[in-house]
Amino acid sequence: GESVGLHLPTLSVQEGDNSIINCAYSNSASDYFIWYKQESGKGPQFIIDIRSNMDKRQGQRVTVLLNKTVKHLSLQIAATQPGDSAVYFCAENIGVQGAQKLVFGQGTRLTINP
């Protein structure tokens, strides 16, 4: 889920395990979703996206699942590696007046234990 306040939700996993990061979005009319990864001191990096006419999309070691019924998005990372340690956040396109507008979640901090 998404955080409130200053403390991000944290997920700790063992190296080699699979990770699942969740995101609840707000607008049932949102038609496009993106997952970003942000390492400390860097800008957000695109991981994977999904359009609302899909419920699953796979990339390299990552899978995004979209459940429009409950407005829920998840990012699955297979066989996590130390380089996967970062803050992950989702973004939904709420499309104001036909123009692009992304609304970002607060993020989840993923920590990989050796």
Question: What residues make contact with other proteins under the rule CB under 8 A?
Answer: 3-6, 31-32, 34, 36, 41-46, 49, 51, 89, 91, 93, 95, 98-102, 104-107
**18 vs 101, beta carbon nearer other proteins:** 101
Q: For the CB of residue 44, give the shortest distance to other proteins in the complex, in Å.
A: 5
The one-letter code for the residue type at 93 is N
**90 vs 112, beta carbon nearer other proteins:** 90
- Separation between Cα atoms, residue 58 and residue 50, nearest integer Å: 9
Q: For the CB of residue 6, give the shortest distance to other proteins in the complex, in Å.
A: 4
**13 vs 71, beta carbon nearer other proteins:** 71
Closest CA to 90 of 78, 77, 68, 73: 73
Closest CA to 22 of 67, 78, 69, 82: 67
Q: For the CB of residue 87, give the shortest distance to other proteins in the complex, in Å.
A: 10
The alpha-helical segments, DSSP class H, found in the chain are none
- Separation between Cα atoms, residue 90 and residue 105, nearest integer Å: 6
